[in-house]
Chain A
Amino acid sequence: MLHGYAGKILKINVGSGKQVAENTPPELAEQYLGGRGFVARLLYDSIEPGTDPLGPANLVVIATGPLSGHLLPGSGKTHFGTLSPATGGYGDSNMGGHFGPALKYAGYDCLVLEGAAEKLSTIVIDNDKIEIVEDETLQGKGALVAEKILKERLGEDFQIITIGPAGENKVAFACISHDFGRQAGRTGVAAVLGSKNIKAVAVRGTGSIPVYNAKGAQQKGEAMYKVCFAKPGFKTWTPYGTASITSWVNEVGAFPTRNFQSSFAEFHNKINGQAVVDKLLITDKGCFGCPTPCGKYGYAKTALGNAYVEGPEYESIATLGGSCCLEEIEEVAYANYVCDQLGLDTISAGVVVSFAMECFEKGVINTAEIGRSISFGSLDDVVYLLEKIAACEGIGAVLAGGVKPASAAFGGGSEQYAIHVKGLEWSGYECRNAPGMMLSYMTADVGAHHNRSWALGYDISQSDADVSELIKAGAGGKMDVSSPEGKVDHVISMQHSRPLYDTLGICRLQTMEIGFETVHYEEVFELITGRKLSWAEMLAISEKIWQLTRLFNVKHIDGFGRSWDYPPRRFMEEPVTSGPNEGRYIKKEILDKMLDEYYEKRGWDSNGIPTPETIKAYGLK
């Protein structure tokens, strides 16, 4: 028996209705742990080159980790993966909440969906009873509305993921929604669910998960919570959650503003963590198992309307508040709510909307094409564009592919400021004074996402300080940090450590934000699974997964290589327009030097392709 795991992988062909629950292969658990590891391996093995991301042959893999659902801090995470419609390559996205634990209690480590249903349907998994229910009445319903309807229909003890109209319409940055405010936002997993005509998956799990040493795991789990309770950040970071970093990011000149023209916003105090607490907050809302709930559930009142909304967390503040220049937290929250309901990733949506605004300012697109004039700072315009995108109507149909295809369609030099890597829009850190963070974005497997390596703290402090410590220390006058020296090693190491949390099925924020020590995971992992693995050994597995996701991109993206690893030209050619980093940018030569070093250390050739020796050394096929 595989201790710690639920023990089965459930494969459903949503077209034919065929379902198979197979034992979770012990060698898969041994070699890839779970979560992101399962996602990467299953996708690599099962998808043929040339597969249409939005065709029935693509898969959606939903995987928990060996630590998901157990008694330990942050054990509520679920990983989603697919051949991404945004990048054409490896796509994955991580989500908190309660869905993954429920899936394990129902008996499944992992859910694999293939095929396509004829009509809009919901998958209902009630322990070992599985049904695919056609339900066209949910068509066009907001993601939160659909979740509420299904909760009322099925019962409170079902955990549900839904997609909104954007997912149904296969917008490349449609997100999966859960628990009225948690999302698997990135890489367009929801568009793939939409292409399969799956509006929702509901799970009830009433069983248990086998534990190798239940008493020992309980004692260790309890001790881990108490370690968290004693961290200074437990009290200082938790009340504000991820938004607590907003003003620090602005102070160090990394806060994207006006579609990343600048990295500084004068109005940051109106949209930071304090503003969330003062103007919006109703309750803290966390994931399963979480001691430090980062979710700030609130109520926003604006001229356009009022809404209950979870968030905005930092990324939504950076892209909707910073990049689109919404200067009031209520407006950011309302735009966030509109994204949630439509089922749009707030990160990509904010970047796409601000891109359109800059295109309009520069005369690349006009009033006739857009249907009106638009400008930075207008909530009305943001909402107008979001609705057009979700409906794939007019200009929205072009923007729905993301900034990469949109800039190709618009032309007029707009590629220069289409802020993405590999077709995935950049998240909330402007990097023209942060080479480590820039390299993180350039080399992340899914495209411009911070979750794989967040080197900004290291760029600024040259240390491994956690976020609570960084905020306490402030920028400290160390503003000229643009030296790339020593950054490559740090980025590589973070690209193993951060995705490891997604592999184990846990939240990384307790470590990253309040300094919870990783040694505890080693101990609890052994008590839960009966398998002894040091953190370093787990990192080695994470490193192998990194090689595998690179190989996935090589396999699926025509002509994949070095040219896919550059940021938009803006970051290499245009100086920052204001703030502490005014005038700075990072020349391509510097980035090339970093890339050369990075490839060499990774065992990739100068085009960024893993060499045959490297593939062999990692035992990959």
Chain B
Amino acid sequence: MKLQVKEDRCSGCNVCRVVCTLENFSTVQPSQALLKIKGLFPDPGKYEIAYCNQCGVCAGECPEEAIKEVNSEYDIDYDLCTQCLICVDSCPFDVMVVLESGYPAKCTGCGKCVELCPRDAVLADQG
């Protein structure tokens, strides 16, 4: 699933981030979430959502060609990954993470954030 966001609906609850790490890493650890919520307070009083829009920049930068497009989503092939982490630095939205194992991780399009966001601020990109 490809994501889109409506930032003005976000209330900063971080439910998306907690469910993200549970679904993808079986852990409650929002620091490892594959999307980020930033509150801009006190002024102007809004939230920014950084998320993976499957732009593929990481795939283009990976020297091992370990990040591959499958159904317009990019997945990491961990058999090919050498942990150079060039992809993590290349992400224009800073939403890739490095796992404790040393491997990078990126949004898998699981759609859990979409399912649980109480505000419909993270949505499936239908277009």
Contact = CB atoms under 8 A, between A and B. Distances in A.
Contacts of B15: 71, 225, 289, 291
A346 B29 CA distance: 34
Contacts of B84: none
A229 B21 CA distance: 22
Interface in B20-40: 21-23, 26-32, 38-39
Nearest to B46: A283
B118 A228 contact: yes
Task: Summarize B's interface: helix, strand, loop or mixed.
Answer: mixed
A187 B14 CA distance: 30
B118 A299 contact: no
A282 B122 CA distance: 19
A293 B15 CA distance: 12
Interface in B65-123: 112, 115-116, 118-119
Interface in A288-319: 288-293, 295, 297-299, 308
A156 B31 CA distance: 12
A157 interface: yes
A207 interface: yes
A70 B22 CA distance: 10
A108 B116 CA distance: 27
Contacts of A308: 41-45
B41 A293 contact: no
B64 interface: no
B19 A218 contact: yes
A148 B18 CA distance: 25
A80 interface: no
Contacts of B118: 225, 228-229, 290-292
Interface string A205-217: 1111101001101
Contacts of A209: 28-29
A282 B11 contact: no
Given A144-B42, A283-B47, A293 B13 contact: yes
Given A222-B115, A289-B14, A293-B13, A208 B42 contact: no
A299 B41 CA distance: 12
A411 B112 CA distance: 62
B56 interface: no
B80 to A, nearest CB: 28
Contacts of A157: 31
A144 to B, nearest CB: 6
A295 B11 CA distance: 9
A179 B41 contact: yes
A434 to B, nearest CB: 33
Nearest to B10: A283
A181 B11 CA distance: 13
A437 B118 CA distance: 33
- Counting chain B residues whose Cβ lies within 8 A of the other chain, the interface size class is 20 to 34
Interface string A168-192: 0000000000011100000000000
Contacts of A298: 45
Contacts of A282: 44-46
A286 interface: yes
Given A180-B41, A229-B118, A71 B18 contact: yes
Nearest to B38: A156
B11 A284 contact: yes
Interface string A109-138: 000000000000000000000000000000
Contacts of B43: 308
A441 to B, nearest CB: 32
Contact of A222 (B21, B39, B42, B116): B116
A69 interface: yes
Contacts of B112: 222
Contacts of A156: 38
Given A179-B41, A209-B28, A297-B45, A288 B23 contact: no
Given A180-B42, A308-B42, A208 B29 contact: yes
A218 B11 CA distance: 21
A576 B45 CA distance: 41
Given A71-B22, A283-B47, A288 B11 contact: no
A329 interface: no
A553 B112 CA distance: 48
A288 B13 CA distance: 4
B19 A284 contact: no
Nearest to A157: B31
Contact of A299 (B12, B45, B119): B45
Contacts of B44: 282, 308
A214 B115 contact: no
Contacts of A98: 14
Nearest to B29: A208
Contact of B26 (A105, A215, A293, A295): A215
Contacts of B39: 179-180, 285
A285 B28 contact: no
A287 interface: yes
Contact of B12 (A70, A215, A285): A285
A288 B30 CA distance: 11
B57 to A, nearest CB: 23
Given A222-B116, A290-B13, 17 more contacts: A69-B28, A70-B28, A71-B18, A105-B31, A179-B41, A205-B31, A206-B31, A207-B31, A209-B29, A225-B116, A228-B118, A283-B11, A283-B46, A288-B14, A292-B118, A297-B45, A298-B45
23 contacts: A69-B28, A71-B28, A156-B38, A157-B31, A180-B41, A206-B29, A207-B29, A208-B21, A208-B27, A208-B32, A209-B28, A215-B26, A222-B112, A282-B45, A283-B47, A285-B11, A289-B13, A289-B15, A289-B18, A290-B11, A293-B119, A308-B42, A308-B44
Query: Which 10 residue pairs spanning A and B have beta carbons closest together?
Result: A208-B29, A293-B11, A206-B31, A291-B118, A180-B41, A286-B11, A218-B22, A308-B42, A208-B27, A284-B11
